[in-house]
Structure 1
């Protein structure tokens, strides 16, 4: 139960990153695509770090 909030934050971060990536590609905006990729990478790093600390 104590991992519910980090999982929700990670899911929201991934969803926003993917949405930024898709919308940036549709709008032909390389800056928004870069921000989407950076948000996805940061969220994955946060998730891995959280998983490693919990064991």
Structure 2
């Protein structure tokens, strides 16, 4: 379930980047990049924690 949330946040971030580029809005692009980076970091932490628990 948490992987799905991370994937949805990545999709939302990519949409923000694309829409910010179309509207020439650097703030929206920055927020999109921050969402994508944050979701990727969160996903990597989830995977690493899962491997340690085994």
Query: TM-score, with normalisation over the residues of structure 2?
Result: 0.92
Q: Distance in 1 between matches of 2:49 and 2:7?
A: 18
List structure 1 segments (4+ residues) > 6 angstroms apart after TM superposition: none
Q: Which residue of 2 aligns with 1:26?
A: 22
CA RMSD of aligned residues (A): 0.4
Query: TM-score, with normalisation over the residues of structure 1?
Result: 0.90
Residues 13-53 of structure 1: CA distance to partner in whole angstroms, max 9, x if unpaired? 01000000000000000000000000000000000000000
Q: State the number of aligned residues.
A: 51
- Name stretches of at least 5 consecutive residues in structure 2 with no aligned partner: none
